[in-house]
Structure 1
Amino acid sequence: MKVVLQRTRNASVTADGRLSGQIESGFVLLVGITHEDIEKDADWLADKIVNLRVFEDEEGKMNRSLLDEGKEILSVSQFTLYGDCRKGRRPNFMEAAKPSQAEKLYDYFNDELRRKGVHVETGVFGSMMDVQLVNDGPVTLIIESK
């Protein structure tokens, strides 16, 4: 699994012109799943993300986690994270999981984040979506389970 994490002041996602998810402050996660990923990958990523210390403490040092701060997550599925652009002029998406496999693991991942006590909003899996956010920092990280 691959996640692009962006610290945000606020964010929303719409699908088919309808608001699907919205948060005030926390993380926007763009989530990519490959055909080799299993629940263990989702478990590891969920634990890493909620405990990652990327929020400032009283001294301005990145020392506090999403859980410490009581922040939220907007999670958006994005198979294009597994687009291989090394050859030709069109991305190859052979490494991305098939939609049926990816959706199950994406749902599991979001449920795991919720089990850890985080409020999670989502986009609509498999839909064309518009994501709006205000980057905070900006802080953007790429986290991979393998």
Structure 2
Amino acid sequence: MRVTSLFFLLAGLTMPIAAFAQGEVSVERGLQVSIIGGCHDCHTEGYSETEGKIDPEKALMGSSVGWRGPWGTTYATNLRIDASVMTERGFVGMLKRIRTSPPMPWYNLRAMEESDMQSLYQYIRSLGKHGKPAPSRIRSDKEPTTPYVQLVPPQMPRN
């Protein structure tokens, strides 16, 4: 009985903390959004290989590993550069309007709460120096010189 009561007491204390975090604009919330939103999956080189450990020196600096498909080869951009040349308002506006090439799920960005977009901007800006740009997109008729992941959409059955 005591263990059950303690569990519900602790659960009750953590719920307001979680509710407070949503809608809050802060660097800490931005870190949480960047992890839950999957930003590091592509925009932080080596993130997956370290099982989710964020190297602050590489965080959100883009990747030299491309994503190749019928659209060509695309690269996760250096978000630190983007944030360094924009105001918070400009960054949020970009996220609301963005439409990019695969595999970036730009439609997920548009579904974010504005406070989460602001927090993401603040987190990215807190990371410091922005480094160099990721490689540019390569047309589909050109062979990339960097490592890449080949994405082949399934063929649709003919009727």
TM over 0.5: no
More strand by share: 1
TM-score by length of 2: 0.26
Tell me which protein shows more helix as a share of its residues. Answer: 2
Q: 1 or 2 for the larger relative contact order (CA 8 Å, sep ≥6)?
A: 1
With structure 1 as the length reference, what TM-score do the two structures score?
A: 0.28
